[in-house]
Structure 1
Amino acid sequence: MFYYADQDYNNPKLTYLKRLFAELVHLYYKDLCNYIKNPQKTEKFLKKYNDSPEEVIKFWEKNAYGLLCFIVGAAKAQKVMQKVEPEVKKAKKILNARKQTSSRHFCENKCSKETMHVC
């Protein structure tokens, strides 16, 4: 489903810089999809590399369109952003839900409290 960078970051006609940016956008897209599928695992993965789901979402909201315009042109970039927007919205909903429940949880450390609490 994704976008033209799948072909573009291996396209020898593109300059090295454009291929590099296309690969970067592609990696951010993979992080976004993985976050929607498995938020907890993706958060742990991103934390290893000093990144966060907030940064991935912010990238798609603020920086992605400009990079896509540079790589493939404005018309294709607009099509890509239309396809990615629903996924960004899903990721935002997941992030907000996880933030609300992350401060209070059922203890997995088997302490004596059975209600929701902060360890």
Structure 2
Amino acid sequence: MTETTIFQKIINEEIPCDKLYEDEFCIAFNDIQAQAPVHFLVIPKKPIISLLECIEQDANLLGHLLFVGSKIAKSKNLTNWRTVINTGAESGQTVFHLHIHFLSGRKMNWPPG
């Protein structure tokens, strides 16, 4: 049996979050380990480990996650932001539930890694 992730506990309302948005498909909240002045996450309620495990039927959900993040960013009057999706431990994924980082409020450097 796999361990319940912190994100699943947030979805299940077992632990609190600074919620920005929620609908039947996803939840968005501020990252507690912010790496920029604005740093929030958008996660699907469907327990997908990473992009590696996505299937064709997840295409609309993936688009919805990006749309929700963009809507939140615009509501914060952001005109520039970076989106990050880590896939696998070597890429920096530490919570194995798909999530999209939205970062803004400072200049982003390139390359990011």
TM-based fold match above 0.5: no
Higher strand share: 2
Higher helix share: 1
Which TM-score applies when normalising by structure 2? 0.32
Which TM-score applies when normalising by structure 1? 0.31
Q: Which has the larger radius of gyration?
A: 1
